[in-house]
């Protein structure tokens, strides 16, 4: 991002890069305030874009936004603020700020191998609900796709990435080396929280790997965790692009099948009481940000 971005440019770029951010909006004002209602700014962990009026008010808003970011969850919060001496501003007005915390949440997926199938697969996965980590010892192959939504890891020993993988990550193994594939499979099997272990290959390769894993002492229930051949059988084809589509379809199918159905309707966003307050704010009761007692809504 660049500091001359307006808030809408920063919001668009941040969401494209899947970067956690907070959109701060001036909901209402009374008396003399630095900016009118609807002024917005975007705050990230390291930068901020646009302005809600500057001064100590904006400084405190950025501070609060970053505190909300540290929680790592989507949320909404409204703070009512008086612009008095405690904020170093003598406007004498009052304002309400809406903080919308936007944290991209994607299924962690480690893709091992940057060959022809992967080159077709990664552009399909990049805009989807995945947190993508692409691992290969060859930096020139990884560099063929420069999408900023993909985290690249050039590792001489790619299996090291599995030990450091996020909790409940998925692993897709599509390398050019059968021995590396086998080491990666074993590393993944050591993590019981890994819910998907996909391995590219034929039925013959699958049987050979099953035999090798059994010879190494792996239990049958462990061996059964490995999906090989990888991809949906209903999506045929042997061209790299066709294989990539088949794999992407399997990953999407698994993602949606694992999401629990919503158990009835739940209230989301700001509390009902807060929503009513915003439609008829009582500025005689606004509180100073220095003593911060913001109205909080549940995570969205």
Residues 286 and 154 in one domain: no
Tally of CA atoms within 13 A in the half-sphere of 250 that contains its CB: 24
117 and 101 co-located in one domain: no
Query: pLDDT tens digit string along 213-248?
Result: 999 999 999 999 999 999 998 888 899 999 999 999
| 55 band by pLDDT with thresholds 50, 70 and 90 | confident
- Does 60 map to a domain? yes
144 part of a folded domain: yes
**pLDDT of the residue at 273:** 59
For residues 94 and 157, membership in a common domain is answered with no
pLDDT for 168 equals 92
User: Is residue 2 in a domain?
Assistant: no
Tokens of 127: 């805009």
Assigned domain for 53 exists: yes
> Which of residues 125 and 264 earns the better pLDDT score?
125
Please, which pLDDT band fits residue 261 given cuts at 50, 70 and 90? Answer: very low
Question: Using CA atoms, how far apart are residues 187 and 157, in angstroms rounded to an integer?
Answer: 12
- Is residue 167 domain-resident? yes
Exposure on the CB side of residue 54, measured as CA atoms within 13 A: 0
- Both 43 and 77 in a single domain? yes
Flag whether pLDDT at 295 surpasses 80.
no
Residue written as token pair 């700014």:
41
Does residue 189 sit within a domain?
yes
- Rounded CA separation 21/39 (Å): 17
Quote the pLDDT of residue 104: 80
Look at 171 and 270; give whichever has higher pLDDT. 171
Question: At 115, is the secondary structure helix, strand, or coil?
Answer: coil
- Same domain as 87, residue 12: yes
210 and 79 within one domain: no
SS3 state at 60: helix
The boundaries of the domain holding residue 17 are 7-105+265-296
Q: State residue 144's pLDDT score.
A: 94
What does the block give as tokens for 258?
């694992």
User: 121-136 in b/e burial notation, b at 16+ Cβ within 10 A?
Assistant: bbebbbeeebbbbbbb
Residues 228 and 159 in one domain: yes
Average pLDDT over residues 177-191: 96
Of residues 213 and 266, more confidently modeled: 213
Say what the pLDDT of residue 132 is. 94
State residue 250's pLDDT score. 96
Asked whether residue 54 carries a pLDDT value surpassing 50, the answer given is: yes
Q: Evaluate whether residue 152 is within a structural domain.
A: yes
| pLDDT digits 0-9 by tens, 81-134 | 877 555 555 555 788 899 999 988 789 999 999 999 999 999 999 999 899 999
One domain, residues 127 and 162? yes
d(CA 245, CA 113): 16
Residue 169's contacts (CB-CB under 8 Å, 6 or more residues apart) are: 108, 109, 110, 191, 193, 194
Instruction: Specify whether 42 is located in the same domain as 100.
Output: yes
Residue 1 inside a domain? The answer is: no
CA gap 269, 256 in Å, rounded: 24
8 Å CB contact between 93 and 33: yes
Look at residue 196 in the predicted model and tell me its pLDDT: 96
Domain with 236 in it: what CATH number?
3.40.50.720
Are 242 and 270 contained in the same domain? no
Return the axis-axis angle of helices 240-258 and 116-125, rounded to nearest 10°.
40
- Into how many domains does the chain fold? 2
State whether 158 and 93 are in the same domain.
no
Instruction: Give yes or no: residues 135 and 216 share one domain.
Output: yes
Scanning the chain, the segments in alpha helix (DSSP H) are 7-16, 55-70, 116-125, 139-142, 160-163, 178-189, 203-215, 220-223, 240-258, 272-279
pTM for the predicted model, two decimal places? 0.66
Rounded Cα–Cα distance for residues 113 and 121 (Å):
11
The CA–CA distances, whole Å, from 156 to 114, 180, 267 equal 14, 11, 49
């Amino acid at each position: 991002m660049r500091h001359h971005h307006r808030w809408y440019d920063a919001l668009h770029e941040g969401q494209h890069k899947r970067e956690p951010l907070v959109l701060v909006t001036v909901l209402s004002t009374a008396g003399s305030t630095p900016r009118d209602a609807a002024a917005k700014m975007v705050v990230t962990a390291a930068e901020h874009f646009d302005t809600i009026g500057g001064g100590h008010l904006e400084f405190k808003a950025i501070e609060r936004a970053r505190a909300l970011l540290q929680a790592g969850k989507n949320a909404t919060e409204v703070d009512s603020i008086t612009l008095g001496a405690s904020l170093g501003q003598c406007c004498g007005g009052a304002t309400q700020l809406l903080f919308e915390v936007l944290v991209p949440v994607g299924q962690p997926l480690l893709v091992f191998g940057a060959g022809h199938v992967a080159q077709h697969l990664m552009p399909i996965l990049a805009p989807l609900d995945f947190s993508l980590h692409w691992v290969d010892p060859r930096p020139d192959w990884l560099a063929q796709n420069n999408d900023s939504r993909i985290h690249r890891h050039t590792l001489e020993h790619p299996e090291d990435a599995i030990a450091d993988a996020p909790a409940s990550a998925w692993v897709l193994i599509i390398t050019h080396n059968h021995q590396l594939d086998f080491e990666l499979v074993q590393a993944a099997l050591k993590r019981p929280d890994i819910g998907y272990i996909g391995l590219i290959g034929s039925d013959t390769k699958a049987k050979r790997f099953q035999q090798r894993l059994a010879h190494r002492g792996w239990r049958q229930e462990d061996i059964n965790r490995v999906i090989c051949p990888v991809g949906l059988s209903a999506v045929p084809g042997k061209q790299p692009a066709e294989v990539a589509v088949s794999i992407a379809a399997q990953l999407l199918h698994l993602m949606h099948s694992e999401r629990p159905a919503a158990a009835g309707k739940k209230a989301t966003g700001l509390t009902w009481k807060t929503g009513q307050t915003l439609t008829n704010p009582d500025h005689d009761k606004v509180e100073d940000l220095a003593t911060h007692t913001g109205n909080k809504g549940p995570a969205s």
